[in-house]
Structure 1
Amino acid sequence: MMTREIYMHRCLELAKLGLGHTAPNPIVGAVLVREERIIGEGYHSYYGAAHAEVNCLHSVGDDDRRWITDSTLYVSLEPCAHFGKTPPCADLIIEKKIPRVVIACRDPFKEVNGRGIEKLRAAGVDLEIGMLEKEAMDTNRRFFTFHQQHRPYIILKWAESANRKIANQDFSRVHISNEITNRLIHKWRGEEASILVGTRTALHDNPMLTVRTVPGKNPIRLVVDMQLRLPESLHLFDQKTRTIVFNSIRHVDGEALSYYQITRDVSAVHQIVHALYQLNIQSVIVEGGAQLLQSFIDEDLWDEARIITNDSIFIRDGIAAPDLAGGQLITSEAIFSDHIRYYRNQ
């Protein structure tokens, strides 16, 4: 590995610390280097807070501030050039007279999309663009998918028995994944903007769909209930976390509980995906049930699949797990009796 690439890898590590907290902004990390020594680093920690470049410069110690004008700034995404929640980072870089900037990839957001690079270049900043570009785009895959494909990043997740069943035949719940895996699932929830379940899962499992076993923010809860037959006594209607009900009957905007009307004439999953884009929701993790998950697979509307298999559990005459057509196995891990496989839709 090139020495300089180490600094960009550090930017990507820092960026990931903001995962689940910055949307609709991207996750970004920045490192300031002078003579192969890091003198400052930072990341975008949550939406509305200072950007990575700002935090990086603020972290520089008093003894090193004199070296800012003789340093190289590494940043995992093109510095912004527009006024949003915070002032443009490109202006700050110019103001601080940083002579060299290494950028992993361009920002696809229409308000940036090369404007930050143009502003820095016009100010005489020495630029290098494209270091670890593929890795940086993958780190921000939710953000890039949203702005380039005009839809949220879609993750499918389910747990299945050794004989590929996800529930009993009467839809009653079976605890398939172990306690340690469940903590990981809650971590996953906290990393995404929203979480989606179907009517039967909501009715039979009565899930909270919140983050409880690990620190993290709750995703927006989404449920498909076309005929509005779910009882309001379910956890989903406790109004403790923002919840959206996709249905065919009414459209009501509420602060904690909203109803989003879709039709039966067009694919429900396509309408839901379009609605999430319109609502500026950049990612969704689909947790079930089997019919809803299979609909996303059949419509080829998915980016990742995370499948948990417990090799010690067999369910007689149960509900069959979804059939994942295509997809490339990226990696796998074992957590005691649970085997987790991670797929990408290629």
Structure 2
Amino acid sequence: MPLPLPDLDTRRFDDLVGEMRAMIPLLAPEWTNHNLSDPGITLLELLAWVSEANLYRANRIPARTIANFISLLLGESSIQSDDFRQAMSGVTTQDIERAAGQVSAEIDEVHVRYAEHENRVSVLIVLRAGAMQAADILLAAGMRLQGLWVSGPQLVAESLDGARQRALRFFNDPYRAITTADFEREAMLASAAVGRVSIASFPEAGTITVAVVPAASAIPDAALLRTVKQRLDDRKLVGTRIVVRPPRYTDITLKVLLVTRPNTLKSEVIDTVTAAITGFFNPLVGGRDRRGWPFGRPVSAYELYYLVESLAGVDHVEGLEINADPQAREVPIEDLPSLRSLTITPVN
């Protein structure tokens, strides 16, 4: 007598039909006829019948077949190393407990202390009794050091449920870059030094152009651009060309003539206006929504009038010059504005 197999999904025909009917008011509120004579209900019942048949077949799959399939999806890794190891005394460490199968997915960095010595010192981190993948250790500085490795001498097989959940997490994590949102997400994840990105979809046939704004400076260095491009190249579709470049800034000079309110210190008002305008042009936290200046959005004199006159201590703006033009009302921007000069003058 064969051993009974657990049901992966216990839903039956009536359960599936009831679940789909309950979703009709939410997804299609104009659909009001839910009788069996309605052709739409007939299609739902057909889908429920097909789904029930597929669930029955899925429930008949033995655990060994599932394990082999997951092994094909996730793969296995192993490493050979020399066994010339010697434990060091005086090393302070802290135990890290992880369930089998979650080590490689959850532990990104492990920090240990080791004593400096005139000879080369190696550190061995042993993960006891857990499914894991051997990997090099990266220090916080990002330098790969020779002689540092991870080992699991008492490797224990991962449970089937754990492997199944890990496979689901693996496939639910977005990886391939197809849409503009995909490229933006992957570019932001390339490095913590990336502050913002702008994606131009196919300015040329088959080309994705990515403008990168670093988090700590105005212009990204070559290393950051290479890091972003490498990540996108690994995730793009075949035939897509990736161009990663710095943002193109348009210089802006600004002169503001304003009238302060009575009983206010002009120096404090000038500081307030300076901070507000500088923040308004910030590529990371500027703009009207404080989420960064939108790429390609022109500079509007009317927005600057509104910004300055809404500040405490300002009665009104007497005059405004953008790029030495008192008649300018809108200045086109290629990517982002760069405030090169700001002069604020109270006229009262």
TM normalised by structure 1 equals 0.21
Greater relative contact order: 1 or 2 (C-alpha under 8 angstroms, separation 6 or more)? 1
The structure in which a higher percent of residues are strand is 1
- CA radius of gyration, larger in: 2
